[in-house]
Structure 1
């Protein structure tokens, strides 16, 4: 898939903790997933918009999850929107997406899928949260998951929701 990120779009990537692949590999996975999301979902941002991706471990994300969501447990990904949209256009600080290595790796193993495919899914999931997509109720979850499935299909990645019922969890 060609890189269709908007002009001036910046991915600020940091590895804080965890046994993540190298920065070049993570950047390639993120660019591919984010580019597919922009193409398939017609996401709109102002010029020179930035998204920050933080790759960390379960201990760090557990602290964030406790502080921001009152959930004292690790999770796979958290999103923190950076600015209010101007109508349907977002930016210039789109927000932060944080990933926890142990949880992401364990989920990929349990699901029997490639680590990079699962990370691509979670990158897309986290990005959609920055654009106000959510899964607080079944209607929102159906919309968000349908969009995720379409984006992943454009990357040749199987439907991650195929073997489980739709469940809104607010996470």
Structure 2
């Protein structure tokens, strides 16, 4: 599935609530153009899954959060391969800027940042603080420490699923 096919599909399926385009054939050809079209066309979207989205940008993240107020599940695992880019994407997802309304994060129940190996711990802690209804969190292979675990324990009171596979910097004494 490429850019053109995705644009045609979402243009005619405006009431879609769940979209998973992870690992689609030709997925590397998908650009911000089609992703922004998803956000504009599918405002009822509640779940969006897009694994290994190497071309994903902060522009798309900002746009989908502003355009899809019902978004509860946002999953882009394995989408960041460069050190500084991961933090930029996550900060755009969670920081207060004139084009982002933080109130929209209060509906988020599920986040999957698995294999975001370059994401900074401070960014993960900001995620936890910004999403009080978080029930499922995948941090597999992220470089977190006891600091993140303490944040989760203190703030994620609704957590039901937590994936910490490959998080080797957590002490056993905690």
TM-score interval, normalised by the smaller of the two chains:
under 0.3
**TM-score, normalising length: structure 1:** 0.28
The TM-score normalised by the length of structure 2 is 0.27
Larger radius of gyration: 2
Using CA pairs under 8 Å that are at least 6 residues apart, name the structure with larger relative contact order, 1 or 2. 1
